[in-house]
């Protein structure tokens, strides 16, 4: 099966975007990844990398009048969100023979073949993924029932109707605030199962895993493969993951979120290794490229203690669950 993906990112997400591409090369037998380069430095570096299965799109070639009009009213992040639905439309418009296009966030990483995602989707026209918040985070559904990390559209009447509607809404309003039932590009997805025909909500546990829901599952490694409960991990969303200027990493596990040692060993450690490989690849072609890093953050004592408590509690719950299964 030939997969057609698209993503977008600027210089600050370049390392993550390259890492996403490399994970597809490793686990996806046949694909094309269209990359919308949100600025000049991103395009120049990717052009030098000469990624065999990527097709680069310059922002100046992509933007139409509607986008140029709203661009000054949006922050960098808000404008990226605004462009999200326009990108699959652009790809399909310029490649009308494509059966389907799947948008991917740049901070995703694939751990295994994405085939089960599309097998489950079947003949549906639209694929969306729930946040799947655990019980103690259910109140976060106010920010969106679904997330925009993986969204697929079939090139048919139902898929195009949804995609064009989403683009129009994001052009009208796409800001980083909760207002009148809207939030960025994300809250617009809330009523898609009712608004449009042919919408499938992905059920596979191994896809749609992220910092905000990984604590729901038991993570383990079997035969060199990572599993989420009984399902192989397909793709993980590295929400809040940051590269720091002291050559360390912030996994974002604070506040509501926490990670177990097993999460870090089986999910985050391999990702860090691939990020470092991407840094090396980029610096071979662009030695002066130094974007993508943030200032070092110091956790408060309260935050550290809270993290330790949640990690210990999580380990206790996992062990109790295992003992219950054994009984």
Number of other residues whose CB lies within 10 A of the CB of residue 309: 11
| Per-residue pLDDT tens over the stretch 178-201 | 999 999 999 999 999 999 999 999
| Per-residue pLDDT tens over the stretch 287-298 | 999 999 998 655
Question: What residues contact 281, with CB distance under 8 A and at least 6 apart?
Answer: 18, 49
| Per-residue pLDDT tens over the stretch 15-41 | 999 999 999 999 998 999 999 999 999
Mean pLDDT of 220-224: 93
CA distance 28 to 43: 24
Q: Can you give the pLDDT at residue 150?
A: 98
| Structural tokens at position 95 | 């490649």
Mean pLDDT of 257-268: 95
Q: Can you give the pLDDT at residue 246?
A: 87
Q: Looking up tokens 């977008």, which residue turns up?
A: 8
Q: Can you give the pLDDT at residue 325?
A: 53
Task: Check: CB of residue 85 under 8 Å from CB of residue 185.
Answer: yes
Q: Can you give the pLDDT at residue 307?
A: 52
| Per-residue pLDDT tens over the stretch 37-80 | 999 999 999 999 999 999 999 999 999 999 999 999 999 999 99
- Domains along the chain? 3-326 (3.90.550.10)
Task: State yes or no: pLDDT of 204 exceeds 90.
Answer: yes
CA distance 257 to 241: 12
Q: Can you give the pLDDT at residue 312?
A: 54
Q: How far is residue 15 from each of residues 106, 266, 320, measured CA to CA in Å?
A: 9, 21, 39
Q: Can you give the pLDDT at residue 65?
A: 98
Note the pTM of the prediction, 2 decimals.
Answer: 0.91
pLDDT band with cut points at 50, 70 and 90 for residue 247 = confident
Helices assigned H by DSSP within the chain:
14-27, 40-49, 59-62, 65-70, 76-83, 86-94, 115-121, 157-172, 192-195, 261-263, 269-285, 301-326
Supply angle C-alpha 79, 151, 197, rounded to 5: 115
Task: State yes or no: pLDDT of 318 exceeds 90.
Answer: no
Task: Check: CB of residue 104 under 8 Å from CB of residue 24.
Answer: no
Mean pLDDT of 278-288: 97
pLDDT band with cut points at 50, 70 and 90 for residue 256 = confident
């Amino acid at each position: 099966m030939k997969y057609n993906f698209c993503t977008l990112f600027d210089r600050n997400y370049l390392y993550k975007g390259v890492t996403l591409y490399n994970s597809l090369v490793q686990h996806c037998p046949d694909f094309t990844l269209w990359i919308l380069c949100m600025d000049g430095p991103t395009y120049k570096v990717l052009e030098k990398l000469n990624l065999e299965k990527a097709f680069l799109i310059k922002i100046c070639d992509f933007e139409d009048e509607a986008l140029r009009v709203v661009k000054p009213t949006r922050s960098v992040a808000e404008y990226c969100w605004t462009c999200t639905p326009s990108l699959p439309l652009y790809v399909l418009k310029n490649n009308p023979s494509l059966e389907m296009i799947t948008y991917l966030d740049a901070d995703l990483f694939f751990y295994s073949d994405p085939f089960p995602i599309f097998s489950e989707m079947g003949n549906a026209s639209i694929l969306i993924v729930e946040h799947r918040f655990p019980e103690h985070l259910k109140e976060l559904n106010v920010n969106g029932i679904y997330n925009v990390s993986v969204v697929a559209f079939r090139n048919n009447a139902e898929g195009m109707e949804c995609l064009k509607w989403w683009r129009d809404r994001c052009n009208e309003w796409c800001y980083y605030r909760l207002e009148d039932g809207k939030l960025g590009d994300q809250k617009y997805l809330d009523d898609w199962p009712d608004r449009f025909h042919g919408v499938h909500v992905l059920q596979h546990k191994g896809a749609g895993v992220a910092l905000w829901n990984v604590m729901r599952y038991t993570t383990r490694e079997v035969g060199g493969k990572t599993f989420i409960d009984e399902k192989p991990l397909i793709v993980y969303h590295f929400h809040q993951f940051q590269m720091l200027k002291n050559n360390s990493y912030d996994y974002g596990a604070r506040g509501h979120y926490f990670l177990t040692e097993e999460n870090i060993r089986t999910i985050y450690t391999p990702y860090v290794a691939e990020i470092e490989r991407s840094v090396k690849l980029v610096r071979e072609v662009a030695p002066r490229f130094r974007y993508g890093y943030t200032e070092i953050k110091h956790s408060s004592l309260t935050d550290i203690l809270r993290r330790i408590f949640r990690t210990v509690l999580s380990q206790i719950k996992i062990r109790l669950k295992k003992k219950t299964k054994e009984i």
